[in-house]
Copies of this chain bind each other. A is one copy, B any other.
Amino acid sequence: MTGREFFTARTVADALAGFRPTLRTPVEDVPLYEALHRVPAAPVPAPAALPGFARSTVDGFAVRAADTYGASDSLPSYVDLLGAVRMGAAPTVAVRPGGCVAMPTGGVLPAGADAVVMVEYTAETMPGTIEITRPVAPGGGLVRADEDVAAGAALVPAGLPLRAPDLGLLAAAGVTLVPVHARPRVAIVSTGDEVVPPTTRSLVPGQVRDATAPALAGMVADAGGQPILAGIVDDEPGALKDRLTEVLPGADLVVVSAGSSVGARDETAGAVAAVGEIWCHGLAIKPGKPTLLADCGGIPLVGLPGNPLSALVVFGQVGVPLVWRLAGCESPPPPPSTRARLARDLASAAGRLDVVQVRVRDGVAEPLFGPSALLSVLARADGYLLVPEPATGLDAGTEVEVVLYR
Protein backbone atom coordinates (compact mmCIF):
# COMPACT_ATOMS: atom_id res chain seq x y z
CA MET A 1 0.00 0.00 0.00
CA THR A 2 2.25 2.71 -1.29
CA GLY A 3 1.02 5.85 -3.07
CA ARG A 4 0.96 8.44 -0.32
CA GLU A 5 -0.68 11.62 -1.61
CA PHE A 6 1.25 14.75 -2.40
CA PHE A 7 -1.32 17.44 -1.96
CA THR A 8 -1.08 20.81 -3.64
CA ALA A 9 -3.23 22.13 -0.83
CA ARG A 10 -5.01 25.47 -0.99
CA THR A 11 -7.27 27.28 1.41
CA VAL A 12 -10.98 27.47 0.66
CA ALA A 13 -10.64 31.26 0.43
CA ASP A 14 -7.92 30.80 -2.23
CA ALA A 15 -10.14 28.41 -4.14
CA LEU A 16 -13.12 30.75 -4.08
CA ALA A 17 -10.99 33.68 -5.18
CA GLY A 18 -8.78 31.88 -7.67
CA PHE A 19 -10.73 29.00 -9.17
CA ARG A 20 -13.22 31.08 -11.14
CA PRO A 21 -14.31 29.61 -14.43
CA THR A 22 -15.33 32.17 -17.04
CA LEU A 23 -17.95 29.84 -18.49
CA ARG A 24 -21.52 31.13 -18.27
CA THR A 25 -24.55 29.17 -19.38
CA PRO A 26 -26.38 30.44 -22.47
CA VAL A 27 -29.32 32.83 -22.19
CA GLU A 28 -32.83 31.51 -22.75
CA ASP A 29 -36.28 33.09 -22.54
CA VAL A 30 -38.45 31.44 -19.92
CA PRO A 31 -42.11 32.09 -19.17
CA LEU A 32 -42.65 34.32 -16.15
CA TYR A 33 -44.29 31.50 -14.21
CA GLU A 34 -41.11 29.41 -14.51
CA ALA A 35 -38.69 32.23 -13.78
CA LEU A 36 -38.64 32.00 -9.97
CA HIS A 37 -35.01 31.92 -8.69
CA ARG A 38 -33.67 32.10 -12.25
CA VAL A 39 -30.90 34.63 -12.94
CA PRO A 40 -31.55 37.42 -15.50
CA ALA A 41 -28.69 37.76 -17.94
CA ALA A 42 -29.16 41.53 -18.23
CA PRO A 43 -31.28 44.14 -16.47
CA VAL A 44 -34.87 43.79 -17.68
CA PRO A 45 -36.18 47.21 -18.78
CA ALA A 46 -39.76 48.38 -18.33
CA PRO A 47 -41.41 48.60 -21.76
CA ALA A 48 -43.55 51.52 -20.50
CA ALA A 49 -44.01 53.59 -17.37
CA LEU A 50 -45.88 52.03 -14.46
CA PRO A 51 -48.66 52.36 -13.46
CA GLY A 52 -48.94 54.21 -16.77
CA PHE A 53 -51.54 56.68 -15.53
CA ALA A 54 -51.94 58.89 -12.46
CA ARG A 55 -53.79 56.58 -10.12
CA SER A 56 -55.79 57.16 -6.98
CA THR A 57 -54.45 55.39 -3.88
CA VAL A 58 -57.58 56.06 -1.81
CA ASP A 59 -61.35 55.93 -2.09
CA GLY A 60 -62.49 59.55 -2.33
CA PHE A 61 -62.89 62.50 -4.67
CA ALA A 62 -60.54 63.85 -7.32
CA VAL A 63 -60.18 67.59 -6.88
CA ARG A 64 -58.01 70.58 -7.56
CA ALA A 65 -55.96 70.75 -4.38
CA ALA A 66 -56.36 74.53 -4.28
CA ASP A 67 -60.10 74.05 -3.76
CA THR A 68 -59.42 72.33 -0.42
CA TYR A 69 -56.97 74.78 1.12
CA GLY A 70 -58.02 75.81 4.60
CA ALA A 71 -60.84 73.26 4.76
CA SER A 72 -61.68 72.10 8.30
CA ASP A 73 -64.52 70.65 10.31
CA SER A 74 -65.62 74.12 11.29
CA LEU A 75 -65.06 75.67 7.87
CA PRO A 76 -65.50 73.01 5.17
CA SER A 77 -65.00 73.50 1.45
CA TYR A 78 -67.87 72.62 -0.85
CA VAL A 79 -67.41 71.31 -4.39
CA ASP A 80 -69.81 70.08 -7.05
CA LEU A 81 -69.92 66.34 -7.76
CA LEU A 82 -69.42 66.11 -11.51
CA GLY A 83 -69.45 62.35 -11.96
CA ALA A 84 -67.61 59.18 -11.04
CA VAL A 85 -64.61 57.25 -12.34
CA ARG A 86 -65.20 53.58 -12.96
CA MET A 87 -62.49 50.99 -12.18
CA GLY A 88 -60.53 49.86 -15.17
CA ALA A 89 -61.90 52.53 -17.48
CA ALA A 90 -60.79 55.96 -18.65
CA PRO A 91 -62.56 58.89 -16.93
CA THR A 92 -65.45 60.31 -18.90
CA VAL A 93 -65.46 63.63 -17.09
CA ALA A 94 -62.83 66.25 -16.17
CA VAL A 95 -62.47 68.21 -12.96
CA ARG A 96 -62.98 71.98 -13.22
CA PRO A 97 -62.37 74.51 -10.43
CA GLY A 98 -64.98 74.02 -7.73
CA GLY A 99 -65.78 70.53 -8.96
CA CYS A 100 -64.90 66.95 -8.00
CA VAL A 101 -65.23 63.42 -9.35
CA ALA A 102 -65.83 60.33 -7.20
CA MET A 103 -62.84 57.96 -7.29
CA PRO A 104 -62.29 54.34 -6.34
CA THR A 105 -58.86 53.31 -5.07
CA GLY A 106 -56.89 52.47 -8.19
CA GLY A 107 -58.97 54.63 -10.51
CA VAL A 108 -57.54 56.93 -13.19
CA LEU A 109 -57.17 60.55 -12.13
CA PRO A 110 -59.41 62.67 -14.39
CA ALA A 111 -58.04 65.60 -16.35
CA GLY A 112 -57.96 68.82 -14.37
CA ALA A 113 -57.51 67.13 -10.98
CA ASP A 114 -54.20 67.13 -9.10
CA ALA A 115 -55.15 65.34 -5.86
CA VAL A 116 -57.64 62.93 -4.32
CA VAL A 117 -59.22 63.73 -0.98
CA MET A 118 -60.07 60.67 1.13
CA VAL A 119 -63.73 59.79 1.54
CA GLU A 120 -63.21 59.86 5.33
CA TYR A 121 -62.85 63.67 5.15
CA THR A 122 -65.93 64.24 3.01
CA ALA A 123 -69.70 64.06 3.18
CA GLU A 124 -72.38 64.42 0.55
CA THR A 125 -74.36 67.04 2.46
CA MET A 126 -76.76 67.69 -0.39
CA PRO A 127 -77.23 65.59 -3.53
CA GLY A 128 -74.53 66.76 -5.91
CA THR A 129 -72.50 68.70 -3.33
CA ILE A 130 -69.49 67.30 -1.50
CA GLU A 131 -68.32 68.83 1.76
CA ILE A 132 -64.54 68.57 2.39
CA THR A 133 -63.21 68.97 5.94
CA ARG A 134 -59.48 68.51 5.37
CA PRO A 135 -57.09 70.03 2.85
CA VAL A 136 -55.08 67.88 0.45
CA ALA A 137 -51.78 68.90 -1.15
CA PRO A 138 -51.15 68.59 -4.90
CA GLY A 139 -50.19 64.98 -5.57
CA GLY A 140 -51.96 63.80 -2.40
CA GLY A 141 -53.94 60.55 -2.58
CA LEU A 142 -52.40 59.41 -5.84
CA VAL A 143 -49.33 57.98 -7.51
CA ARG A 144 -47.89 59.53 -10.65
CA ALA A 145 -47.97 57.72 -13.99
CA ASP A 146 -44.29 56.78 -13.74
CA GLU A 147 -43.96 56.68 -9.96
CA ASP A 148 -43.65 52.88 -9.78
CA VAL A 149 -41.21 52.52 -12.69
CA ALA A 150 -40.19 54.91 -15.48
CA ALA A 151 -40.22 53.65 -19.06
CA GLY A 152 -36.90 51.96 -19.81
CA ALA A 153 -35.81 51.72 -16.17
CA ALA A 154 -34.63 48.35 -14.93
CA LEU A 155 -37.41 46.27 -13.40
CA VAL A 156 -34.87 43.79 -12.07
CA PRO A 157 -31.07 43.80 -12.21
CA ALA A 158 -28.86 41.27 -13.92
CA GLY A 159 -27.15 38.59 -11.89
CA LEU A 160 -29.52 38.25 -8.96
CA PRO A 161 -32.02 35.39 -8.80
CA LEU A 162 -35.63 36.47 -9.27
CA ARG A 163 -37.69 36.51 -6.10
CA ALA A 164 -41.46 36.26 -5.84
CA PRO A 165 -41.95 40.06 -5.63
CA ASP A 166 -39.82 40.50 -8.74
CA LEU A 167 -42.22 38.26 -10.65
CA GLY A 168 -44.99 40.63 -9.61
CA LEU A 169 -43.21 43.69 -10.94
CA LEU A 170 -42.34 41.92 -14.22
CA ALA A 171 -45.98 40.86 -14.60
CA ALA A 172 -47.19 44.40 -13.95
CA ALA A 173 -44.93 45.59 -16.75
CA GLY A 174 -46.17 42.90 -19.11
CA VAL A 175 -42.86 41.06 -19.24
CA THR A 176 -44.00 37.45 -19.54
CA LEU A 177 -40.85 36.03 -21.11
CA VAL A 178 -37.69 36.64 -19.12
CA PRO A 179 -34.16 36.26 -20.55
CA VAL A 180 -32.26 34.25 -17.96
CA HIS A 181 -29.19 32.05 -17.87
CA ALA A 182 -29.88 28.39 -18.51
CA ARG A 183 -29.75 26.19 -15.43
CA PRO A 184 -26.17 24.91 -15.17
CA ARG A 185 -26.03 21.22 -16.06
CA VAL A 186 -24.13 19.51 -13.27
CA ALA A 187 -22.98 15.99 -14.11
CA ILE A 188 -22.57 13.88 -10.98
CA VAL A 189 -20.26 10.90 -11.36
CA SER A 190 -19.90 8.43 -8.51
CA THR A 191 -16.96 6.09 -8.30
CA GLY A 192 -16.06 3.00 -6.33
CA ASP A 193 -16.31 -0.76 -6.71
CA GLU A 194 -18.32 -0.85 -3.51
CA VAL A 195 -20.91 1.72 -4.62
CA VAL A 196 -24.25 0.47 -5.98
CA PRO A 197 -27.39 2.39 -7.02
CA PRO A 198 -29.84 3.40 -4.28
CA THR A 199 -32.43 1.16 -5.91
CA THR A 200 -30.38 -1.93 -5.02
CA ARG A 201 -32.70 -3.88 -2.75
CA SER A 202 -30.27 -6.10 -0.88
CA LEU A 203 -26.58 -5.60 -0.51
CA VAL A 204 -23.77 -8.10 -0.40
CA PRO A 205 -21.36 -7.41 2.45
CA GLY A 206 -19.07 -4.55 1.51
CA GLN A 207 -21.50 -2.84 -0.84
CA VAL A 208 -22.93 0.57 -0.03
CA ARG A 209 -25.69 2.41 -1.84
CA ASP A 210 -24.76 5.69 -3.47
CA ALA A 211 -25.86 8.27 -0.90
CA THR A 212 -23.74 11.12 -2.18
CA ALA A 213 -25.25 11.50 -5.64
CA PRO A 214 -28.88 12.03 -4.48
CA ALA A 215 -27.79 14.48 -1.80
CA LEU A 216 -25.62 16.37 -4.29
CA ALA A 217 -28.54 16.42 -6.73
CA GLY A 218 -30.60 18.14 -4.03
CA MET A 219 -27.89 20.71 -3.37
CA VAL A 220 -27.52 21.37 -7.11
CA ALA A 221 -31.27 21.89 -7.46
CA ASP A 222 -31.28 24.27 -4.48
CA ALA A 223 -28.54 26.27 -6.20
CA GLY A 224 -30.60 26.56 -9.37
CA GLY A 225 -28.71 23.88 -11.27
CA GLN A 226 -29.91 20.87 -13.18
CA PRO A 227 -28.40 17.68 -11.78
CA ILE A 228 -27.45 15.01 -14.29
CA LEU A 229 -26.89 11.65 -12.64
CA ALA A 230 -24.03 10.24 -14.63
CA GLY A 231 -23.90 6.89 -12.91
CA ILE A 232 -21.37 4.88 -10.94
CA VAL A 233 -17.93 4.06 -12.31
CA ASP A 234 -15.92 1.04 -11.15
CA ASP A 235 -12.37 1.47 -9.92
CA GLU A 236 -10.92 -0.28 -12.97
CA PRO A 237 -8.16 1.68 -14.72
CA GLY A 238 -9.40 3.96 -17.48
CA ALA A 239 -13.09 3.67 -16.60
CA LEU A 240 -13.34 7.07 -14.95
CA LYS A 241 -11.44 8.82 -17.72
CA ASP A 242 -13.79 7.28 -20.27
CA ARG A 243 -16.86 8.38 -18.33
CA LEU A 244 -15.52 11.91 -17.90
CA THR A 245 -14.84 12.13 -21.63
CA GLU A 246 -18.45 11.10 -22.24
CA VAL A 247 -20.10 13.53 -19.83
CA LEU A 248 -17.99 16.65 -20.32
CA PRO A 249 -19.60 17.78 -23.61
CA GLY A 250 -23.06 17.84 -21.97
CA ALA A 251 -22.09 19.45 -18.70
CA ASP A 252 -21.34 22.93 -17.38
CA LEU A 253 -19.83 21.48 -14.20
CA VAL A 254 -18.66 17.96 -13.42
CA VAL A 255 -18.65 16.58 -9.91
CA VAL A 256 -16.86 13.35 -9.12
CA SER A 257 -17.58 11.75 -5.81
CA ALA A 258 -14.36 9.84 -5.48
CA GLY A 259 -13.64 6.48 -4.01
CA SER A 260 -12.71 6.60 -0.35
CA SER A 261 -9.44 4.68 -0.39
CA VAL A 262 -6.09 6.25 -1.16
CA GLY A 263 -5.81 4.11 -4.27
CA ALA A 264 -9.19 5.23 -5.55
CA ARG A 265 -8.25 8.85 -4.93
CA ASP A 266 -5.05 8.47 -6.88
CA GLU A 267 -7.08 6.88 -9.69
CA THR A 268 -9.41 9.90 -9.69
CA ALA A 269 -6.56 12.37 -9.88
CA GLY A 270 -5.03 10.42 -12.76
CA ALA A 271 -8.29 10.33 -14.71
CA VAL A 272 -8.91 14.03 -14.15
CA ALA A 273 -5.37 14.93 -15.19
CA ALA A 274 -6.01 13.07 -18.45
CA VAL A 275 -9.01 15.22 -19.37
CA GLY A 276 -8.08 18.57 -17.83
CA GLU A 277 -5.72 20.61 -15.76
CA ILE A 278 -5.66 20.13 -12.00
CA TRP A 279 -5.89 23.48 -10.23
CA CYS A 280 -5.44 22.07 -6.77
CA HIS A 281 -5.42 18.71 -5.09
CA GLY A 282 -6.14 19.17 -1.43
CA LEU A 283 -8.12 21.87 0.35
CA ALA A 284 -7.42 23.17 3.84
CA ILE A 285 -10.89 22.20 5.03
CA LYS A 286 -12.08 19.73 7.63
CA PRO A 287 -13.71 17.48 6.70
CA GLY A 288 -12.86 17.35 3.05
CA LYS A 289 -9.11 17.67 2.64
CA PRO A 290 -8.75 15.32 -0.38
CA THR A 291 -10.64 17.66 -2.69
CA LEU A 292 -9.57 18.25 -6.26
CA LEU A 293 -10.38 21.19 -8.49
CA ALA A 294 -9.68 21.09 -12.20
CA ASP A 295 -10.37 22.92 -15.43
CA CYS A 296 -11.42 20.62 -18.26
CA GLY A 297 -11.20 22.87 -21.30
CA GLY A 298 -13.21 25.60 -19.61
CA ILE A 299 -15.58 23.26 -17.79
CA PRO A 300 -14.86 23.18 -14.06
CA LEU A 301 -14.58 19.84 -12.28
CA VAL A 302 -14.80 19.22 -8.56
CA GLY A 303 -13.43 15.95 -7.22
CA LEU A 304 -15.01 15.30 -3.84
CA PRO A 305 -13.76 13.16 -0.97
CA GLY A 306 -15.06 9.64 -0.78
CA ASN A 307 -17.21 9.75 2.29
CA PRO A 308 -20.60 11.38 1.92
CA LEU A 309 -20.36 13.80 4.83
CA SER A 310 -17.05 15.25 3.62
CA ALA A 311 -18.32 15.33 0.05
CA LEU A 312 -21.42 17.31 0.95
CA VAL A 313 -19.50 19.70 3.17
CA VAL A 314 -17.01 20.48 0.42
CA PHE A 315 -19.69 20.78 -2.24
CA GLY A 316 -21.54 23.27 -0.06
CA GLN A 317 -18.43 25.42 0.36
CA VAL A 318 -16.92 25.34 -3.13
CA GLY A 319 -19.45 23.63 -5.45
CA VAL A 320 -22.59 25.61 -4.69
CA PRO A 321 -20.94 29.01 -5.40
CA LEU A 322 -19.68 27.56 -8.71
CA VAL A 323 -23.20 26.53 -9.75
CA TRP A 324 -24.50 30.04 -9.07
CA ARG A 325 -21.56 31.60 -10.85
CA LEU A 326 -22.09 29.51 -13.98
CA ALA A 327 -25.62 30.94 -14.07
CA GLY A 328 -24.30 34.48 -13.88
CA CYS A 329 -24.83 35.07 -10.17
CA GLU A 330 -21.80 36.23 -8.22
CA SER A 331 -23.66 36.90 -4.96
CA PRO A 332 -25.88 33.90 -4.26
CA PRO A 333 -28.76 34.46 -1.86
CA PRO A 334 -27.69 33.60 1.68
CA PRO A 335 -28.93 30.37 3.21
CA PRO A 336 -31.13 30.52 6.30
CA SER A 337 -29.14 30.87 9.48
CA THR A 338 -29.55 31.39 13.18
CA ARG A 339 -27.45 32.69 16.04
CA ALA A 340 -26.63 30.34 18.86
CA ARG A 341 -24.20 29.92 21.73
CA LEU A 342 -21.61 27.21 21.30
CA ALA A 343 -22.11 24.40 23.82
CA ARG A 344 -18.43 23.43 24.10
CA ASP A 345 -14.92 24.37 23.07
CA LEU A 346 -13.94 23.60 19.50
CA ALA A 347 -10.29 23.21 18.54
CA SER A 348 -9.13 23.97 15.02
CA ALA A 349 -5.91 24.49 13.13
CA ALA A 350 -4.99 27.98 11.94
CA GLY A 351 -5.17 28.20 8.15
CA ARG A 352 -7.85 25.52 7.90
CA LEU A 353 -11.60 26.03 7.53
CA ASP A 354 -13.50 23.73 9.88
CA VAL A 355 -17.11 22.90 9.08
CA VAL A 356 -18.75 21.58 12.22
CA GLN A 357 -22.20 19.92 12.12
CA VAL A 358 -24.41 21.12 14.95
CA ARG A 359 -27.79 20.57 16.45
CA VAL A 360 -29.47 23.74 17.73
CA ARG A 361 -31.81 23.61 20.73
CA ASP A 362 -33.00 26.65 22.70
CA GLY A 363 -30.32 28.86 21.22
CA VAL A 364 -27.48 26.46 22.02
CA ALA A 365 -25.41 24.86 19.24
CA GLU A 366 -24.24 21.37 20.17
CA PRO A 367 -21.48 20.04 17.87
CA LEU A 368 -22.13 16.56 16.50
CA PHE A 369 -19.06 14.40 16.30
CA GLY A 370 -18.52 10.91 14.99
CA PRO A 371 -16.68 9.33 12.09
CA SER A 372 -17.29 11.32 8.93
CA ALA A 373 -18.28 7.99 7.38
CA LEU A 374 -21.58 8.37 9.24
CA LEU A 375 -24.34 9.92 7.18
CA SER A 376 -26.61 10.10 10.17
CA VAL A 377 -24.44 12.87 11.61
CA LEU A 378 -25.55 15.05 8.69
CA ALA A 379 -29.16 13.99 8.89
CA ARG A 380 -29.26 14.72 12.64
CA ALA A 381 -27.67 18.14 12.17
CA ASP A 382 -29.77 21.27 11.90
CA GLY A 383 -26.90 22.95 10.13
CA TYR A 384 -23.25 23.77 10.50
CA LEU A 385 -20.96 26.45 11.77
CA LEU A 386 -17.65 27.55 10.37
CA VAL A 387 -14.45 27.93 12.35
CA PRO A 388 -12.75 30.41 10.01
CA GLU A 389 -9.31 29.90 8.58
CA PRO A 390 -7.38 32.27 10.89
CA ALA A 391 -8.97 30.90 14.10
CA THR A 392 -7.37 28.21 16.23
CA GLY A 393 -10.69 27.33 17.78
CA LEU A 394 -13.83 28.68 19.39
CA ASP A 395 -14.58 28.82 23.10
CA ALA A 396 -17.71 27.40 24.65
CA GLY A 397 -20.29 30.16 24.99
CA THR A 398 -19.15 32.03 21.88
CA GLU A 399 -22.04 33.37 19.82
CA VAL A 400 -21.88 31.61 16.47
CA GLU A 401 -23.82 31.83 13.22
CA VAL A 402 -25.29 28.45 12.32
CA VAL A 403 -26.12 27.94 8.66
CA LEU A 404 -29.29 25.86 8.57
CA TYR A 405 -29.98 23.07 6.12
CA ARG A 406 -33.26 23.72 4.35
Contacts from A to B (Cβ < 8 Å): 1, 32-33, 36-37, 50-53, 55, 57, 59, 85-91, 102, 104-108, 119, 143, 147-149, 155-156, 161, 163-176, 192-196, 198-201, 203-219, 221-222, 229, 235, 259-264, 306-308, 312, 333-339, 371-376, 378-379, 381, 404-406
Contact = CB atoms under 8 A, between A and B. Distances in A.
Contact of A199 (B52, B161, B176): B176
Contacts of A333: 336, 404, 406
B168 A378 contact: yes
A148 to B, nearest CB: 5
A168 B312 CA distance: 10
Nearest to A406: B333
Copies of this chain, count: 2
Given A374-B147, A379-B155, A194 B106 contact: yes
A405 to B, nearest CB: 4
Contact of A149 (B155, B173, B376): B376
Given A59-B261, A105-B261, A163-B218, 15 more contacts: A53-B205, A59-B262, A87-B194, A87-B206, A87-B264, A90-B204, A90-B206, A104-B262, A104-B264, A107-B261, A143-B371, A164-B217, A165-B405, A167-B217, A333-B404
B209 A172 contact: yes
B198 A174 contact: yes
B172 A207 contact: no
A193 B87 contact: yes
A386 to B, nearest CB: 16
A186 B180 CA distance: 27
A341 to B, nearest CB: 15
B336 A335 contact: yes
